[in-house]
Structure 1
Amino acid sequence: MKKVLLSALLLGSIASAQENLYDPAPPANSAFVRVLNAPTATLGGKAVTAEKGAASPYVVIPQGEFAAKLGTITSKLKVEAGNFYSVVANGNKLVLLTDQAAENRAKALLTIYNLSKTASVDLKTADGKTAVVSSVKSGESGSRAVNGITVDLSAFDGTKALGTLKGVKLERGNAYALVLTDAGLTLTPSTTKTK
């Protein structure tokens, strides 16, 4: 009898430990939303922060309309289940950008957000020879899945480099947000994380 009771207790504690290994799955009707370049923000009643020129972790938001506030700008935005989004302030309004999900685990996903006043930018290798993402208009984003590599990257306006990141280590299965503002280019790695 003691062996049966001991086995039951052991199995129960193993099951409990396994449940604690993983975060609970979000509800099926959820979208994933983050903010860019906003030191204070609220998404659907949840406080989030993103350093200047960077991206916050994604927040789980139920499908449909939700309230967003970045600094002093407030707006109602609408999301669809299963999608990833970034919210950014553009002038005195909030813009909701649809993010590409990192679906290919054999590649790294690069997304550049053009939050600068430059009308259109290209993301290239720092030497300007290899285009990665082309013609990203101001207030928009562009993405591309690339091989895992360590590389120097720059945002260009024609032949003029607007910002350079040296030794960017891109790992397969991860997503990276490159945010271009008038102050330069910043990188936020592993942007698939949620909170």
Structure 2
Amino acid sequence: MNPRALTLRATLLLGTCLAGPAMAEGVLAQLYAPRPPAGSAFVRVVNPSADSLKVQISNGTVQAIGPSQLASSYATVKGNETFSVTLDGKPAGQLQVAPDSFNTLVPQDGKLQVLDDSAGSDDALKAELRFYNLASDCPKGSLAVADGGPVLFADVAAHSTTARAINPVSASLSAGCGKATAEKLALPQLKPGDHYSLFLTGSATAPVLRGQLSSTDLYAK
């Protein structure tokens, strides 16, 4: 199984363990839950628009994504095998992705653009930040620690993504396109092993920055 999937699963289990003894039975059930077979891949959909959208990947659960939660969780599919995606109950495409890969699908001009999320951090002692430039007409997006802090990502091309590992610290982040900047976003207190996505949406002149903790569906045979 892909190491990132194991990391995400471990994070979910850690959070459950911290909830107290009453959750012990549920934790044990998850520890012994089936794991995806070798060669599986992980796919989610992100909706950068201001409208809500219902998405289903393969035979997974229908999820609503939109302004409050931009991305679905990662669903498990078979690598190099065709799977379907539906948006608002309508077929949106048949796709294939590589085994052991992570992928984010972005609806664009009636098609689904595939962004490869595979290259990232597997350092269990750090958290991962992944930045997406999905703002319209923004050729180069950037993300920095607010109020003059260091630049974390610079010159990120339109409709592309990049990632880096960080120490789990609290901070406010600022993103934008050129001189136009979005309202600052407070980074939540991340734990080692967490994967946090930051989405630059809106437009080049009115960018918006939103964030979301990534998660992977528990695999069911």
Normalised TM-score (structure 2): 0.72
Q: 1:30 to 1:172 in 2, by over 3 A?
A: same
User: CA offsets, 1:100-156, max 9 Å, x none?
Assistant: 344111111111112211221101111243111122222111111111110101112
The aligned residue for residue 41 of structure 1 is 55
Q: 1:67 to 1:177 in 2, by over 3 A?
A: same
Q: Which amino acid aligns with 2:210?
A: T
Q: Secondary structure at the match of 1:46?
A: coil
User: CA offsets, 1:11-55, max 9 Å, x none?
Assistant: xxxxxx956643211111210111112621121232442531422
Q: Which runs of 5+ in 1 are unaligned?
A: 1-16
The aligned residue for residue 57 of structure 1 is 73
Contact 1:73 1:94 in 2 (8 A): no
| 1:56 shift after superposition | 1.4
Q: Find the aligned partners of 2:98 and 2:84 in 1 and give their Cα distance.
A: 14
Q: 1:162 to 1:67 in 2, by over 3 A?
A: same
The aligned residue for residue 67 of structure 1 is 84
Contact 1:113 1:139 in 2 (8 A): yes
Q: Secondary structure at the match of 1:134?
A: strand
Q: Find the aligned partners of 1:171 and 1:88 in 2 and give their Cα distance.
A: 27
1:193 aligns with 2:193: no
Q: Find the aligned partners of 2:171 and 2:76 in 1 and give their Cα distance.
A: 32
Q: Find the aligned partners of 1:102 and 1:79 in 2 and give their Cα distance.
A: 20
Give runs of aligned pairs for residues 69-88 of structure 1, distance below 5 A.
69-71=86-88, 72=90, 74-88=92-106
Q: 1:77 to 1:115 in 2, by over 3 A?
A: same
For residue 140 of structure 1, the aligned residue among 160, 184, 206 is 160
Q: Secondary structure at the match of 1:170?
A: coil
Give runs of aligned pairs for residues 14-29 of structure 1, distance below 5 A.
21-29=31-39
CA RMSD of aligned residues (A): 2.2
Contact 1:128 1:159 in 2 (8 A): no
Identity of aligned residues (%): 30
Contact 1:108 1:174 in 2 (8 A): yes
Contact 2:172 2:185 in 1 (8 A): yes
Q: Find the aligned partners of 2:99 and 2:187 in 1 and give their Cα distance.
A: 36
Contact 1:49 1:56 in 2 (8 A): yes
| 1:188 shift after superposition | 0.7
Q: Secondary structure at the match of 1:171?
A: coil
Q: 1:154 to 1:20 in 2, by over 3 A?
A: closer
Larger Rg: 1
Contact 1:73 1:93 in 2 (8 A): no
Q: Which runs of 5+ in 2 are unaligned?
A: 1-26
User: CA offsets, 1:140-179, max 9 Å, x none?
Assistant: 1111111111010111222331242025323221000111
Q: 1:193 to 1:102 in 2, by over 3 A?
A: farther
Q: 1:110 to 1:50 in 2, by over 3 A?
A: farther
Q: Find the aligned partners of 1:128 and 1:31 in 2 and give their Cα distance.
A: 39
Q: 1:174 to 1:116 in 2, by over 3 A?
A: same
Contact 1:124 1:156 in 2 (8 A): no
